[in-house]
Amino acid sequence: MTAVNNPVLTGFNPDPSIVRVEDDYYIATSTFEWFPGVQISHSKDLVNWRVLTHPLTRYSQLDLRGRPNSGGVWAPSLSYADGMFYLIYTDVRDWTGIFKDARNFLVTAPHIEGPWSEPIFLNASGFDPSLFHDDDGRKWLLNMVWDHRPEEHNFGGILIQEFDAEKGALVGPVTNIFRGSELGLVEGPHLYKVDGWYYLLTAEGGTFTTHAETVARSRDILGPYELMPDNPLITSAGVPELPLQSAGHGSLVQHRDGTWAFAHLCRRPQANGRSILGRETSLQKIVWVDGWPRLASGGKTPLDRFEAPELPEHPWPEPIRRDEFDTTHLGPHWQAPRVPIDEQMASLTERPGFLRLYGRESIVSRFEQSLVARRQKSFHIEASTCLDFHPENFQQMAGLVAFYSTDNFYYLFLTHAPHSKRCLGLMRCERGKVSFLIEKEYPLDDWQQVCLKLEIKNDRIRFFYSRDGQQWSAAGGEEDASILSDEHALPIGFTGNFVGVACQDLAGTRQHADFDWFEYKELAD
């Protein structure tokens, strides 16, 4: 066996849906308001992983403009049958009130990297859909049902309905097959058939400290389903010393040799209980005992080491640490809030060797702003960039961001001020309240380019600026990085911190900023 540290997908990678196709493993994870939608990671040995693709790349598949923070794509389900990949996903338009406006869609592709089809609308009865391919050729859609009635529990159970692939539509009756266990908040269904039994895996207990994964089974796909003895399969509840917290919401995969593994989400909270990296993906070895899946380690708590099956080692090239912007397209680790990274926002060809961002709406806009970023994947990082930017008025800004959402971020930026044609400012937004952390912006009029840097170490963040990228001066003081977390969001959140670059022109004249490079470094603690 080859042992690998958990999480295997670090940083914001929640709700893993894992599938094996021949010798390739794929995990689809939620992307919420980040575009393009659904992140698919790829491995051949379950040890080495790479970000491979994002299937939802155009507005006709996913239009996130106006979506609330932590809205958008929830809990995708990736499967393979009949020589095709099937991807089911929820697009959540609103989620914070008594109602959930959540629409479920299906796209397909002959290859994992596409082309992916136009979406088929399925239903809007709840979220977390998945597609089960039965061995008789029939296909079934599952999703949790949201019940807004005050006298009922909001998490109303797991619905199932047949999907007719030829018609591209749901057919037949809708059946509620499982209303959950005593853990409550049943969601995230995945269905498997093993030795004539239908096994239903569901997430329960909410996605924070009491999170868990429940198992039930039935001889009939429509039930009744019996709960696994000594349920749940996995949980971190009640064991705060575990390095992996919030374990739950996952899916099973069978290896070529017949053995099994379980991919699940988890958190690694810091001392103050906040998880700046968001929900991540871990793997656990599974054994079958008396007809039920169990953790091979015994018990119910997740291990921070995973024993991978004996597979040929398959490392990938090391991710680029310093992006020189010398290609025609950004790599798959770059995403943007709510909108495509297209020529309306960004160009790698207008000034070769630079990323040009065109200023658009404000950094708190939920519609069309110019911001591109990548996940924070480690507790101790540096992110830096060098930009050429000449603002003409105070409504134009560009710079470096640590960005959790439009309500929680830090922004080290250049702008125009009465005392300086170009000066440095530092902005913090905490729970929607914006404050400026430098009393009077530092003038940098005679600098051709300005280099900016941030350092995050656990729950602290610091900012720097430089003329040459070698000698750095502090900008402001040390700040609280843990505001960039689900636990600090209002009312709660489901994503993780990103670092990247941004440009605004609130006057609508599309003043641009040219970024020479962007460097992301993971540092030793």
Q: Which residues are catalytic?
A: 15, 187
CA dist 368 and 360 (Å) reads 7
Give bridge partners of residue 158 from the DSSP assignment.
Answer: 144, 178
| Residues in contact with 136: Cβ distance below 8 Å, sequence separation at least 6, in sequence order | none
| Residues in contact with 510: Cβ distance below 8 Å, sequence separation at least 6, in sequence order | 358, 359, 360
CA dist 287 and 179 (Å) reads 26
Strands of 244-335 (E only): list them: 245-254, 260-267, 280-289, 292-295, 305-308, 322-323
Give bridge partners of residue 450 from the DSSP assignment.
Answer: 387
CB 372 within 8 A of CB 358: no
CB 156 within 8 A of CB 177: no
- Signed CA dihedral, 269, 273, 278, 282: sign only: positive
Phi, psi of 487 (to 5 degrees): -65, -20
Exposed e or buried b per residue across 52-67, where buried means at least 16 C-beta atoms within 10 angstroms of its C-beta: bbbbbbeeebbebeeb
CA dist 293 and 182 (Å) reads 20
| Residues in contact with 73: Cβ distance below 8 Å, sequence separation at least 6, in sequence order | 30, 31, 32, 37, 38, 56, 62, 89, 90, 91, 92
Three-state DSSP class for 483?
Answer: helix
CA dist 94 and 87 (Å) reads 22
CA dist 3 and 46 (Å) reads 10
- The tokens describing 404, both together, are 């959790």
Around Cβ 417, how many Cβ atoms within 10 Å?
17
